[in-house]
């Protein structure tokens, strides 16, 4: 009887855990920023085109996986001023840029 009750309790916990889990991020799509030179994902933008975004402070590299032809970095917070074209596969110093746009 105790085994049945224990199994039922474990089943409820397992279902509750699955139901509360956040949706998985596909790190190999869109634009992904990494720390540790392409080792640890820190931010993913599934469709970054057309907007100004804050540059992830801890990022040291980026990969434009899909539908990203170029990433343009800025030293300003609002994507203004000098443009630094980074391409789609690049390393840099953490905190080097403040914002970015991509197309």
Higher pLDDT among residues 15 and 33, named by residue:
33
Question: What pTM value is reported for the model?
Answer: 0.74
25-102 is a CATH 2.60.40.10 domain: no
List the domain boundaries for the chain. 25-102
Least confident of 2-16, 29-43, 85-99: 2-16
The alpha-helical segments, DSSP class H, found in the chain are: 2-20
d(CA 94, CA 83) in angstroms, rounded, equals: 18
List pLDDT tens digits, range 31-71: 999 999 899 999 999 998 879 999 999 999 999 998 899 99
CA-to-CA distance for 97 and 57, rounded, in angstroms? 8
More confident residue, 56 or 11: 56
- Average pLDDT of the chain, as a whole number: 83
φ/ψ of 62, rounded to 5, equals -145, 155
- Within 8 A by CB and 6+ apart from 52, the residues are 78, 79, 99, 100, 101
């Amino acid at each position: 009887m105790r085994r049945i009750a224990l199994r039922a309790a474990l089943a409820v916990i397992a279902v509750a855990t699955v139901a509360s889990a956040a949706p998985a991020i596909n790190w190999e799509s869109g634009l992904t920023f990494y720390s540790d030179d392409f080792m640890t994902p820190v931010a993913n933008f599934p469709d970054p085109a057309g907007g100004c975004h804050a540059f992830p402070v801890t990022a040291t590299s980026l990969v434009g996986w899909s539908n990203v032809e170029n990433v343009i970095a800025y030293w300003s917070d609002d994507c203004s001023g000098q443009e630094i074209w980074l391409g789609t596969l690049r390393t840099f110093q953490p905190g080097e840029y403040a914002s970015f746009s991509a197309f």
